[in-house]
Amino acid sequence: MSIERCCGNNKTMSGHFFLIAEKSKLYFTFQDQAEQFFRSGHTNNWAVLVCTSRFWFNYRHVANTLSVYRSVKRLGIPDSHIVLMLADDMACNPRNPKPATVFSHKNMELNVYGDDVEVDYRSYEVTVENFLRVLTGRIPPSTPRSKRLLSDDRSNILIYMTGHGGNGFLKFQDSEEITNVELADAFEQMWQKRRYNELLFIIDTCQGASMYERFYSPNIMALASSQVGEDSLSHQPDLEIGVHLMDRYTFYVLEFLEEIHPASQTNMNDLFQVCPKSLCVSTPGHRTDLFQRDPQNVLITDFFGSVRKVEITTGALALDRDVAALESKFPEEELATEPLKYAEQLPVAQIIHQKPKQKDWHPPGGFILGLWALIIMVFFKTYGIKHMKHVF
């Protein structure tokens, strides 16, 4: 865990801050923040964003996924840490009257396609198998880094899915579906392989709550757009583009996320309040019983943003509740001190220093020498040693 701290030796600002820091209330606030600073035990962030629907009339699902992509990228997760799966290419669909755009708001207010979108799995690559392989890391060695989820036991992972679903399943591309049991088992595998520290699962689909009800692995928080038996509804019908641009739940989540900045102190409880039934028509659900921390203490940026442990303080903070006390909160840390044996996720060395592949079998050197000896022996036997005198 690398922590940078810039303690306040800033001469120009010190007088100003000194006045404020005197007040005890603020002092505690600083202490709170400092505590929070250690609270989330993750060192890196990952996001897996999945749209499982094809076809033009499912424009909104692509826009949903791209809007989450836009938010996490804006909040600091780099493309290398985002696995984006889009089952169809709406920006280049010939039916799109505005080529190379995907809008989330009516009247072309917000183009979530943006300037650079790095799609890692596209069209027919978006399958249940590929999705599960990405999650569990069971991927062929030839897979490029951008298509891998290279997380470890200190990673916070955001998994966002959208598409058409039903009670207990989410449909992938009209041809297959993933069930809630399969998904729960995949998360358990991830946990056992130490592929995450905490996991936030969000799904926007009909009867979305059915997808998280089978989860049983620790440290998972889950949100869904609708309860079992409810449909998830679309939003933002646009006559010019000719389709619904977004689903209601993700639309309001996007509006919520647009207000977040990397230093926001907004917590998960605020996210749970997004899109009440009056706006969503469906009833969004969430599940926190598997999660260790109180959602109130979990920042939105713990999942949607990247780790940036940079904090400017003006004075030396008295971390009187010593490190031992803090560390007692994280029993995993003690585990981590033991020598761990990680599964080699990307065997780079092995790939680079591979021995050249053996060619076809060829006779060993000794055999060839022997053969020549035989030939020479036959030669001398035939022509006799007497001819040798011409040679010598």
What is the secondary structure of 19-74 as a DSSP string?
A: HHHHSHHHHHHHHHHHHHHHHS--SEEEEEEEE---SGGGHHHHHHHHHHHHHHHH
Under 8 Å CB-to-CB from 135, ≥6 apart: which residues? 48, 149, 159, 186, 187, 189, 190, 195
Interface residue with another protein among 4, 25, 116, 239 (CB under 8 A) is 239
Interface residue with another protein among 72, 184, 243, 298 (CB under 8 A) is 243
Task: In angstroms, give the least distance from the CB of 108 to another protein.
Answer: 14
Binding to another protein by residue 352, rule CB under 8 A? no
Binding to another protein by residue 95, rule CB under 8 A? yes
From the list 35-43, 241-249, 287-295, 340-348, the region that binds another protein by CB under 8 A is 241-249
Binding to another protein by residue 92, rule CB under 8 A? yes
**Secondary structure of residue 145 in the 3-state scheme:** helix
- Residue 206 a catalytic site member: yes
Catalytic residue among 81, 164, 235, 286: 164
Q: Which is nearer to another protein, 97 or 366 (CB)?
A: 97
What is the footprint of another protein within residues 217-236 (CB under 8 A)? 234
Task: In angstroms, give the least distance from the CB of 238 to another protein.
Answer: 8
CA dihedral sign of residues 246, 251, 257, 258: positive
Binding to another protein by residue 366, rule CB under 8 A? no
Binding to another protein by residue 100, rule CB under 8 A? no
Task: In angstroms, give the least distance from the CB of 70 to another protein.
Answer: 24
Binding to another protein by residue 55, rule CB under 8 A? yes
Task: In angstroms, give the least distance from the CB of 235 to another protein.
Answer: 13
Binding to another protein by residue 342, rule CB under 8 A? no
Interface residue with another protein among 96, 236, 282, 301 (CB under 8 A) is 96
What is the secondary structure of 264-329 as a DSSP string?
A: ---BHHHHHTSS-HHHHSS--EEE-TT-SS-GGG-BTHHHHS----EEE-SS-----S-HHHHHHT
Binding to another protein by residue 56, rule CB under 8 A? yes
CA angle 118/123/124 to nearest 5° reads: 130
HSE, CB side, 13 Å, CA atoms: give it for residue 211: 35
Catalytic residue among 42, 105, 206, 275: 206
Number of helices and strands in the chain (H, E):
15, 14
Distance CA 193, CA 255 (A): 35
Q: Which stretches of the chain bind another protein, using CB under 8 A?
A: 55-57, 92-97, 99, 234, 237-240, 242-244
Active site residues: 164, 206
